Structure 1
Amino acid sequence: MRKSKTWLIFGIGSLVAFALLSAGILSNAASLQSFDSSIQQFFSSFINPTNTMFMSTFSFFGSPAVSIGLTIIIALAIWLNKNRTMAIWIIFTQIIGSGIAEIVKNIVQRPRPTLQVIKDTGFSYPSGHTFCTAILIMVILFIMVPMINDQEVQALVSILNVLWFVVIAISRIYLRDHFPTDVIGSTLLAISWWEVSRGIYFFAQKHLAGSKLLANHMKGE
């Protein structure tokens, strides 16, 4: 119960932070522009062909298409394990969430950074790569990892997944396909959407359990 309340507070806080950040971006807040510029300047000193090759590769494997595909594979594995409600919910969380991120992109319509290392199209805020990767990582951390019996393996898988998320986020900034605040906004949106989706899951689970009890009662009669 305490964990649920903590996540609820964390989710609400993330949503509020995302709303404030979005408002700042829409109003072209000077403080956010200065922040983005300083981070971009820092990463620009690391740009070279070797780093670009690695970052573009990471970015490819962290693309929304790959993250959504991996999420569906996890959901299918859970479906085959007879947990169909959770499998459907996992796909729902990733697909609907990426749709919400895309809607926000088209509302904010923030242009991508100039001097892109590798050209990308579309609007910049929030980062689709970061959002879809964040949802995939949360599916792994909060659903798959607890299924592992060995605690050391749990810790290793968790650390590797968090590192993967960090690398994907950095690759988007390094390639100048996104501003740092795009990546931060995506992370906040993913956390808040995860909490909303969790609430939907528990509501659906409770509703289905109630329906089964009613069906069993009717059969008993």
Structure 2
Amino acid sequence: MQKNRNWLFVGIIATILFLSLTIAVYTNSSGLAFIDRSIQETVRNSVNPSQTHVFTIIAFFGSPTVTIIATLLIAGAFWHFKNRVIASWIMLVQLGGDAVAFLIKEIIRRPRPNMQLVKDTGFSYPSGHTFSTALLGLTILFIIVPYIKNRETELTVSLLTITWFCFVAFSRFYLRDHFPSDVFASFLLALSWWEWMRVIYFQYKF
């Protein structure tokens, strides 16, 4: 019970921070623009063809389309083993979350950064890649990992999941397809969405 309360608190804080950041983006906050620009300039100094190639591949496999396919496979496995409530919930979280992120993009309509290394279309805020990957990562960490009995395997899967998310998130502003604030906002939105969906899940289940 205490653990659920702690995660609910995390979800509330993430929601507040996301809304605050969204307001800053919508109002073109000069402070936020300065932070974004400072991070972009720092990352720009490390750009080279080899890294760009690697992060382009990472961005491809971290795309919402690939993430949805991975989620479908996970949900399908739970459905196959007769755990259909969790299977349905996993798909609702991913597909519903992606729909929410797309709606926010259309409302905020933030243009993407200039001089993209890999051309992307649509609006910038929030990052769909980061958001989708974060939801997939949370599914792995909190739905799949608890089923793993071997402690070392559990730790390995958890570390690989977190590392993959960090690479996907970094690739978005390395490739200049997003501002750093887009990426951070996506992480906050994913935490918020995940926690509120957990509340719905437990209410439905119990």
Q: TM-score, normalised by structure 2?
A: 0.99
Secondary structure of the equivalent of 1:32?
A: helix
Give the residue type in structure 1 aligned to 2:94: Q
Stretches of structure 1 that go unaligned for 5 or more consecutive residues are 207-221
**Equivalent pairs: percent with the same residue?**
48
Give the residue type in structure 1 aligned to 2:169: A
Within 5 Å, which residues of 2 pair with 1:77-92? Answer: 77-92=77-92
Secondary structure of the equivalent of 1:110?
A: coil
Aligned to 1:119: 119
1:44 maps to 2:44: yes
Give the residue type in structure 1 aligned to 2:118: I
Residue 144 (structure 1) shift = 0.4
Aligned to 2:164: 164
1:58 maps to 2:44: no
Give the residue type in structure 2 aligned to 1:125: Y
Aligned to 2:15: 15
Secondary structure of the equivalent of 1:191?
A: helix
Give the residue type in structure 1 aligned to 2:165: F
After TM superposition, where is structure 1 displaced by more than 3 Å over at least 4 residues in a row? none
Residue 169 (structure 1) shift = 0.4
Aligned to 1:102: 102
Aligned to 1:199: 199
Aligned to 2:149: 149
Q: Which whole-Å CA distance do the structure 1 matches of 2:68 and 2:197 have between them?
A: 16
Residue 204 (structure 1) shift = 1.6
Stretches of structure 2 that go unaligned for 5 or more consecutive residues are none
- Post-superposition Cα deviations, 1:49-96, rounded to whole Å, max 9, x if no partner, equal 111100000000000000111011000001111100000000000000
Q: TM-score, normalised by structure 1?
A: 0.92
Secondary structure of the equivalent of 1:41?
A: helix
Q: Which whole-Å CA distance do the structure 2 matches of 1:116 and 1:92 have between them?
A: 32
Aligned to 2:176: 176
Secondary structure of the equivalent of 1:192?
A: helix
Q: Which whole-Å CA distance do the structure 2 matches of 1:202 and 1:4 have between them?
A: 10
- Post-superposition Cα deviations, 1:163-218, rounded to whole Å, max 9, x if no partner, equal 00000000001000000000000000000000111111112212xxxxxxxxxxxx
Residue 45 (structure 1) shift = 1.0
State the structure with more CA Rg.
1
Q: Which whole-Å CA distance do the structure 2 matches of 1:103 and 1:95 have between them?
A: 12
